[in-house]
């Protein structure tokens, strides 16, 4: 790798022309993605194949999971609705994915010697998306994945002679203990190396005891270890061309490959289900606080543009790019909640427990009151009814888990943050009109009402797998309440 001259003159000539410079840049490239089986990783792979079908290969570092082999997991991803367009544009997509066995929790990721050799000698671009995004992960596990694995990947990257760019996906909340956040890496009170070392010799009970002291004013081990991960990237970047992308709360697709695609319960998705099914009827949230959601396809477009810019322009320092919506096109939680409820009227979820209708309260006492009246009491009554009819009670347990989840998300829905976006705006101005269209990350064009409606519809179709034909019956069901 290194910063030797390699300016791709033929691509810059196309600037202003009709062909996408960024798509052309990825043609013929060997790209390594970690976290390709995750929410963002899948959308990243999809877009790469769709816009640069003649890329050489995508190496994905992955592990077997839930009884599925690597090949079965890849097969399942490629046969999902998300990849329908890709299979038309790039019929050889199966041959262009090379699944490499890797466990990011292991030394050298447990990659075989032959695979490692191939990765080291062929990789041109790295997108590091893998992470644990759980808020309640024990510190040891979060450090292993979000910090140590990043350090190991950087070490691998430094041995790749053909590497042009290393793009690290972080989170806009890695410094959420601040209210105004610039596109810089902020130092952590304790050096990441010291934290990594201490994880090796401290036992679990001591780690649990010191975790609150270490994370300080960070809300959880996730944001804390993502901040440490950024510091590792900055400290160990050496001669690599590195950039950090910081998305805020990543939501369903806005436009590509089609609106409303989502495949997990993270962020607002799980709560939207809980509200639509009538379980969640009140939440401790500040209606005027900014709901800094960002569609996953917007994040992917920015990430690919950053990959191109970092490789071609090779900025002298590690640039950080905020991928946020709040300062360009703000929407607040009140408006979002209102629109979610309005969509439930048109497109209700099936077999709801109660009619969706919830209150936002930022008052602790009112929140306790609503939890007792709107959540715990109906659950107890329903469980009593299940017992009477000879069935196993389950609602109280489900409700307790839901309330635990909402309490973990509360930190993020009762505060507003300001993220500066100079680098992101600079990058937008560097793109040709064609690239601005093909790799659109201009969140000012997003119509929130339309987006939220498509998001709720996407949850119904792709997460709940409910049929649109069932809407009249779902409406009938709600009328009975
Ligand atoms: C004026 C006002 C008008 C008002 C009208 C009012 C109308 C209100 C209507 C309500 C509509 C609501 C819509 C808006 C509310 C939105 C709130 C959104 C909050 C979003 C905040 C996110 C902040 C993220 C900031 C950081 C961003 C990142 O960088 S990281 C990515 C985000 N990461 C996550 O989201 C991970 C969070 N999850 C976890 O850490 C864990 O899952 C957990 C600790 C929360 C739970 O762990 P646990 O071990 O208990 O359970 P787990 O095995 O994981 O799952 C248990 C069951 O719970 C389900 N589940 C999981 N996640 C969620 C979730 N987010 N919401 C709901 N349910 C969830 C899971 O499937 C399991 O189910 P079962 O298998 O059935 O048991
Ligand atoms: N979703 C969000 O709201 C936001 C996400 N981010 C960041 O974006 C990135 C992607 O997040 P997202 O796609 O949502 O996360 P997901 O949880 O959907 O995906 C995580 C990915 O990491 C992989 N992974 C986890 N542990 C290991 C391991 N030990 N070995 C190999 N692979 C592993 C998972 O693989 P497997 O499928 O095998 O589990 C999966 O592919 C992360 O860096 C996250 O911090 C930033 C802001 C918001």
pLDDT tens-digit series, residues 142-186: 999 999 999 999 999 999 999 999 999 999 999 999 999 999 999
Residue 357 has a pLDDT of 83
Ligand 1 atom at minimum distance from 356 CA: 9
Residue 13 has a pLDDT of 39
Q: How far is the CA of 131 from the centre of ligand 2 (A)?
A: 4
394 lines ligand 1 (CB under 6 A): no
The residue contributing the CA closest to ligand 1 atom 75 is 398
**CATH classification of the domain holding 171:** 3.40.50.720
134 lines ligand 1 (CB under 6 A): yes
| Binding pocket residue ranges, ligand 2, CB within 6 Å | 35, 37-41, 62-63, 65, 102-105, 129-133, 145, 169, 171, 226, 247, 249-250, 264, 266-267
Of the listed ligands, the closest to the CA of 405 is 1
Position 354 in a domain: no
- pLDDT tens digits for range 189-244: 999 999 999 999 999 999 999 999 999 999 999 999 999 999 999 999 999 999 99
Position 167 in a domain: yes
- pLDDT tens digits for range 28-55: 999 999 999 999 999 999 999 999 999 9
Position 39 in a domain: yes
Residue 16 has a pLDDT of 43
Q: How far is the CA of 310 from the centre of ligand 1 (A)?
A: 34
pLDDT band at 18 (very low <50, low <70, confident <90, very high): low
Q: Is residue 436 scored above 60 in pLDDT?
A: yes
Q: Is residue 358 scored above 90 in pLDDT?
A: no
Ligand 2 atom at minimum distance from 128 CA: 43
Pocket test for ligand 2, best of 130, 145, 225, 263 (most atoms within 8 A of CB): 130
249 lines ligand 1 (CB under 6 A): yes
Of the listed ligands, the closest to the CA of 42 is 2
Instruction: Provide the percentage of residues in the chain whose pLDDT is more than 70.
Output: 96
Residue 15 has a pLDDT of 44
Q: What is the 3-state secondary structure (H, E, C) of the chain?
A: CCCCCCCCHHHHHCCCCCCCHHHHHHCCCEEEEECCCCHHHHHHHHHHHHHCCCCCEEEEEECCECCECHHHHHHHHHCCHHHHHHHHHCCCHHHHEEEEECCCCCHHHHCCHHHHHHHHHHCCEEEECCCCCCCCCCHHHHHHHHHHHHHHHHHHHCCCCCCCEEEEECCHHHHCCCCEECCCCCCCCCCHHHHHHHHHHCCHHHHHHHHHHHHCCCCCHHHHHHHHHHHHHHHCCCCCCEEEEEECEEECCCCCCCCCCCCCCCCHHHHHHHHHCCCCCEEECCCCCECCEEEHHHHHHHHHHHHHHHHHHCCCCCEEEEECCCCCCCCEHHHHHHHHHHHHHHCCCCCCCCCCCCEEECCHHHHHHHHHHHHHHHHHHHHHHHHHCCCCCCHHHHHHHHHHHHHHHHHHHCCCCEECCHHHHHHHHHCCHHHHHHCCCCHHHCCHHHHHHHHHHHHHHHHCCCCHHHHHHHHHHHHCC
Pocket test for ligand 2, best of 77, 102, 129 (most atoms within 8 A of CB): 129
- pLDDT tens digits for range 248-277: 999 999 999 999 999 999 999 999 999 999
Pocket test for ligand 1, best of 41, 177, 266, 398 (most atoms within 8 A of CB): 266
Position 355 in a domain: no
Position 265 in a domain: no
Residue 47 has a pLDDT of 98
Pocket test for ligand 2, best of 58, 68, 133 (most atoms within 8 A of CB): 133
> pTM for the whole thing?
0.94
Position 407 in a domain: no
Position 452 in a domain: no
Domain enclosing residue 431, as ranges? 14-260+292-330+416-446
Number of domains in the chain: 1
Q: Is residue 17 scored above 60 in pLDDT?
A: no
Position 52 in a domain: yes
Mean pLDDT of 286-293: 97
């Amino acid at each position: 790798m290194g910063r030797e001259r390699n300016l791709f003159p033929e691509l810059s000539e196309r600037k202003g022309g009709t062909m996408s410079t960024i798509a052309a840049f990825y043609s013929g490239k060997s790209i390594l993605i970690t976290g390709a089986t995750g929410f963002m990783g899948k959308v990243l792979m999809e877009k790469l194949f769709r816009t640069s079908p003649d890329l050489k290969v995508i190496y994905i570092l992955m592990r077997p999971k839930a009884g599925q082999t690597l090949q079965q997991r890849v097969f399942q991803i490629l046969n999902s609705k998300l990849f329908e367009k890709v299979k038309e544009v790039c019929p050889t997509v199966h041959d262009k994915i090379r699944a490499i066995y890797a466990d990011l929790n292991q030394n050298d990721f447990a990659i075989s010697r032959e695979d490692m050799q191939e990765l080291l000698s062929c990789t041109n671009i790295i997108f590091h998306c893998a992470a644990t995004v759980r808020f309640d992960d024990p510190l040891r596990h979060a450090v292993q994945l979000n910090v140590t694995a990043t350090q190991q990947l950087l070490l691998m990257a430094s041995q790749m002679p053909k590497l042009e760019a290393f793009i690290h996906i972080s989170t806009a909340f890695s410094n959420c203990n601040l209210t105004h956040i610039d596109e810089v890496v902020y130092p952590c009170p304790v050096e990441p190396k010291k934290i990594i070392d201490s994880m090796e010799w401290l036992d679990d009970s001591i780690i649990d005891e010191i975790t609150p002291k270490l994370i300080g004013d960070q809300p959880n081990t996730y944001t804390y270890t993502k901040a440490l991960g950024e510091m590792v990237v900055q400290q160990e970047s050496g001669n690599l061309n590195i950039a950090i992308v910081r998305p805020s709360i990543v939501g369903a697709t806005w436009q590509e490959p089609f609106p409303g695609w989502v495949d997990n319960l993270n962020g607002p998705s799980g709560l939207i289900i809980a509200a639509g099914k009538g379980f969640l009827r009140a939440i401790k949230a500040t209606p005027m606080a900014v709901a800094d959601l960002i569609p996953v396809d917007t994040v992917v477009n920015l990430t690919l543009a950053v990959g191109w810019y970092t490789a071609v322009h090779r900025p002298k320092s590690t640039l950080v790019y905020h991928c946020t919506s709040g300062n360009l096109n703000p929407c607040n939680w009140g408006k979002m909640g209102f629109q979610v409820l309005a969509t439930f009227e048109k497109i209700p979820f099936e077999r709801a427990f109660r009619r969706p209708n919830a209150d936002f309260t930022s008052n602790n006492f009112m929140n306790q009151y609503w939890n007792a009246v709107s959540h715990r009491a109906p659950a107890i009554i329903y469980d009593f009814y299940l017992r009477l009819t000879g069935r196993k009670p389950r609602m109280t347990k489900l409700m307790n888990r839901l309330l635990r989840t909402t309490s973990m998300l509360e930190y993020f829905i009762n505060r507003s943050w300001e993220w500066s976006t100079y680098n992101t705006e600079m990058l937008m101005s560097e793109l040709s009109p064609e690239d601005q269209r093909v790799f659109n990350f201009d969140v000012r064009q997003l119509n929130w009402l339309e987006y939220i409606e498509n998001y709720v519809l996407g949850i119904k179709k792709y997460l709940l797998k409910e049929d649109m034909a069932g809407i009249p019956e779902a409406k009938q069901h709600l009328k009975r309440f």
